[in-house]
């Protein structure tokens, strides 16, 4: 049994005030250098809603622009407004902060999110107008809200995490336990942001896939957050909690954690669950990460550019049993960084790219497009991290040369022909290969591509449990049923052409005989 990609959803949330109050670069600075110049200069570098709408990488992420179009725009992009400035995209949407705060409250089932009455009354109609928000979600927002005075008291006296909009305190997230740090207001805020953005992604993906919510049987969450209490600090389950809010009443689920490589791990898990027959429809989902907002902010401010890490990201992919047309995930062509692989770049790329291809009789050049870490270079280059996708493509190309599958003079062209320009926000797990799945599905179905490799890589040493690196890869390819049908059609056309040529030749021969007889 084959598993195919039925649809994908990609969402962004503009969270300018969360950059200031929740990004770890900023919260750390508030502790170690509260009177420093960075915190004084930061507010003047925050982008407006209009600026994030006209930002090229954002429009690519939600599907209004193709990565090929972005590649044609000279870098940097922050000072080159996109001609498309739409909030809603082909794959999802960008949501403004004020609406998202209401969605966070709708996702809260323990009455922890408090919002000011006037703020809710002013913004509820806009959230209600959102095409993916139904009455079930909207009805979770209480009619009676909290006074501004009570919210200010909770933040000042009860260790609540403030919720701000345009610099004004409009709400808060209360702690869920008096002494358990795993249920502190800070952690609950972080987890609710991840959950709410995951709900957005789930709803977008299901809508794009054209399936009924009741068809979803299993959900895998692969974000970088962890929920639990002091007795099981990472017990989960984000997947099931988001499925509940999204209205996936027939679904169960679980969380997959693996730092930046988690989305690729989760996609393989989903494909295997479907291929085995355990479930017919599985959705892989992930919300965003507040800790990484403004992560490279110091370098951006120093270089006089806007804070580009002001978007919480999310994605979801619907994996189903074979429908005969959708691109399939080839479970015989999986790459994996094993314990014994080592951390040398050549070994890593060899295990993730060359080994699975060689095992299937293919060369590195037989993959039409590679999607590794798709970080936006507009963000990473000013911070000194360079162009991450380009670095990956150079390593893959160098390995192809070493293996005799590519000529050295073709190195530069390989990165263009088989590579992509990065556009994803630096939300950790979000850029890790999966931003291209939506485009890959459509490009493969349109016949533009035949094989695409998604590569997820992760830094396990961040958890201080191991120094090991991590990574897995998988290939998305043309549906074999659709391919056979195409070959059959081509054969039929070819046979018809031959018959036509024979008939034409016979007519010409008959005409020649008739002409000769008349002579």
Q: Edge-to-edge, what's the strand order for the sheet holding 113-115?
A: 113-115, 168-173, 161-165
Q: Is the peptide bond before 311 cis (omega within 30 degrees of 0)?
A: no
Q: Is the peptide bond before 76 cis (omega within 30 degrees of 0)?
A: yes
Q: What are phi and psi of 276, to 5 degrees?
A: -75, -15
The token duo for 330 is 């080839």
CATH domain 3-478 topology: Peroxisomal Thiolase; Chain A, domain 1 (3.40.47)
The pLDDT score that the predictor gives to residue 504 is 76
The pLDDT score that the predictor gives to residue 512 is 61
Q: Which DSSP category does 385 fall into?
A: -
Residue 246 pLDDT > 70, yes or no? yes
Residue with tokens 């021969």: 509
Average pLDDT over residues 229-245: 96
Residue 492 pLDDT > 70, yes or no? no
CA distance 270 to 278: 10
Average pLDDT in the chain: 95
Q: How confident is the model at residue 371 (pLDDT cuts 50, 70, 90)?
A: very high
Which of 268, 376, 360 is CA-nearest to residue 319?
A: 268
The pLDDT score that the predictor gives to residue 505 is 65
Residue 516 pLDDT > 70, yes or no? no
Q: How confident is the model at residue 343 (pLDDT cuts 50, 70, 90)?
A: confident
24 contacts 56 by C-beta, under 8 angstroms:
no
- Which distant-in-sequence residues (6+ apart) come within 8 Å of 431 by Cβ? 260, 373, 374, 375, 376, 388, 422, 424, 425
The token duo for 380 is 């990473």
Average pLDDT over residues 54-81: 98
Residue 517 pLDDT > 60, yes or no? no
CA distance 164 to 246: 25
Residue with tokens 């039925």: 6
pTM assigned to the model = 0.92
CA distance 104 to 242: 11
Q: Which residues of 23-34 are buried (b: 16+ CB within 10 A; e: fewer)?
A: bebbeebeeeee
Residue 441 pLDDT > 80, yes or no? yes
Alpha carbon dihedral 82, 84, 85, 87, in 10-degree steps, equals -130
271 contacts 319 by C-beta, under 8 angstroms:
yes
The pLDDT score that the predictor gives to residue 345 is 87
Q: At what angle do helices 185-209 and 238-246 cross, to 10 degrees?
A: 60
CA distance 267 to 319: 8
Domain extent listing, the chain? 3-478
Residue 489 pLDDT > 60, yes or no? no
The pLDDT score that the predictor gives to residue 497 is 73
More confident residue, 165 or 492: 165
């Amino acid at each position: 049994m084959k598993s195919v990609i039925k649809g994908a959803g990609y969402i962004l949330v503009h969270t300018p005030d969360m950059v200031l109050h929740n990004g770890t670069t900023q919260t750390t600075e508030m502790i170690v250098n509260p009177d420093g110049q960075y915190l004084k200069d930061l507010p003047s570098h925050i982008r407006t809603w209009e600026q994030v709408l006209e930002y090229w990488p954002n429009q690519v992420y939600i599907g209004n622009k193709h990565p090929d179009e972005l590649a044609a725009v000279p870098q940097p992009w922050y000072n080159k407004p996109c001609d498309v400035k739409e909030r809603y995209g082909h794959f999802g949407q960008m949501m403004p902060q004020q609406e998202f705060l209401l969605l966070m409250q709708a996702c809260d089932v323990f009455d922890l999110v408090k919002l000011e009455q006037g703020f809710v009354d002013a913004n509820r109609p806009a959230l209600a107008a959102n095409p993916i928000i139904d009455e079930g979600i909207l009805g979770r927002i209480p009619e009676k809200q909290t006074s501004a005075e009570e919210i200010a008291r909770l933040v000042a006296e009860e260790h609540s995490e403030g919720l701000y909009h345009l610099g004004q305190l409009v709400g808060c997230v209360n702690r869920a336990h008096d002494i358990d740090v795993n249920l502190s207001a800070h952690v609950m805020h972080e987890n609710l942001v991840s959950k709410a953005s995951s709900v957005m992604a789930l709803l977008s993906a299901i809508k794009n896939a054209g399936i009924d919510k009741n068809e979803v049987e299993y959900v895998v969450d692969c974000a970088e957050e962890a929920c639990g209490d002091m007795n099981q600090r990472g017990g989960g389950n984000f997947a099931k909690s988001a499925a509940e809010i999204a209205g996936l009443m027939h679904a169960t689920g679980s969380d997959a954690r693996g730092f930046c490589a988690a989305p690729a791990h989760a996609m393989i898990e989903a494909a295997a669950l479907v291929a085995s027959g355990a479930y017919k429809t599985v959705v892989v989902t992930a919300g965003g990460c507040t800790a990484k907002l403004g992560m490279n902010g110091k370098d951006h401010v120093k270089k006089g550019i806007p804070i580009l890490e002001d978007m919480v990201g999310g994605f979801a992919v619907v994996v189903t049993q074979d429908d005969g047309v959708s691109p399939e995930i080839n479970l015989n062509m999986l790459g994996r960084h094993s314990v014994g692989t080592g951390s040398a770049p050549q070994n890593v790329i060899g295990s993730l790219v060359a080994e699975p291809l060689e095992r299937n009789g293919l060369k590195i050049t037989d993959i039409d497009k590679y999607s590794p870490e798709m970080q936006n270079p507009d963000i990473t280059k000013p911070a000194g991290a360079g162009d991450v996708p380009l670095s990956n493509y150079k390593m893959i190309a160098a390995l192809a040369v070493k293996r005799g599958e590519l000529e050295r003079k073709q190195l530069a062209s390989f990165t263009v022909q088989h590579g992509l320009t990065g556009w994803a926000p630096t939300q950790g797990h979000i850029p890790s290969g999966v931003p291209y799945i939506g485009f890959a599905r459509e490009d493969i179905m349109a016949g533009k591509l035949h094989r695409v490799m998604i590569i997820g890589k992760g830094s396990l040493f961040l958890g201080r449990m191991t120094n090991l690196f991590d990574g897995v890869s998988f290939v998305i390819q043309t549906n074999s049923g659709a391919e056979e049908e195409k070959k059959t059609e081509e054969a039929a056309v070819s046979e018809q052409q031959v018959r036509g040529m024979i008939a034409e030749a016979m007519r010409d021969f008959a005409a020649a005989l008739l002409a000769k007889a008349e002579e």
